[in-house]
Amino acid sequence: MGRALSNDPQVIDDYDNQTPEGGVPLAGADPVLLDDPATDALMRMVTELTAELWVERDRRMVLEDVLIDAGVIRPETLENYVPQGARGERFAAERQALVQSVFKELRRIVATASAESS
């Protein structure tokens, strides 16, 4: 039953389809709270970046603890590691996914400008 909401553009549009009975006007899906949309976007990027940084740091701390506890590695093994071949490619792909995630605001701004100019 029901429909998935997460990837449904209708849901974002739905912010404009709310029907509050009076009260304080709702800000809508994309309010500008700082001096201009660029500054808002920068603040979003910094926050998203910090979240991603923490997610990665959390994963690394989990992994290191688990591996050291299991006696699989010693702390100095990590410092000397260099990924090779397919592993190196995987590192590059992960890096690009991180950049996409952090800087998606720029693409959204472009998309918004495109929509407004069409």
Partner 1 sequence: MTPEQTVIPKPSRRADTAYLDFIEGIREFVLNEQDGLDHDIDELFSALEQRRGKPYSTFEEVAEIMDRTAVGPLRNRLMRTQQEMQWRRIIETFESQRADLEAELDSYDKRGPGEVLWDPDFETPEYANVHFHLQPGGYHKDPLAGYHYHYSTKVFFRGLNDSDAVHKGAAAPTPVPADGKVARVLDLGCSLGQSTTALKQKFPQASIWGIDHSAPMVRYAHKRAVDLDVDVSFAQRLAEDNGFPDQHFDLVYSMILFHEIPTRIAKQVLAEVARVLRPGGLFVVHDFVSSKNSTPLQLYHREYDCRYNGEPYAKEFCRSDFPAMVDEAGLKLQRAIGDGYGFMNTWWVER
Q: What is the binding site for partner 1 (CB under 8 A)?
A: 1-7, 11-12, 14-15, 17-27, 31, 33-35, 40, 43-44, 47-48, 50-52, 54-55, 58-59, 62
Pick between residue 50 and residue 74 the one whose CB is nearest to partner 1: 50
Instruction: Give me the least distance between CB of 19 and partner 1, in Å please.
Output: 4
| Number of other residues whose CB lies within 10 A of the CB of residue 48 | 15
* Sequence-ordered list of residues with C-beta below 8 angstroms from that of 78, at least 6 positions apart, any chain: 64
* Closest to partner 1 by CB, 74 or 96: 96
Largest Cα–Cα separation, the chain? 63
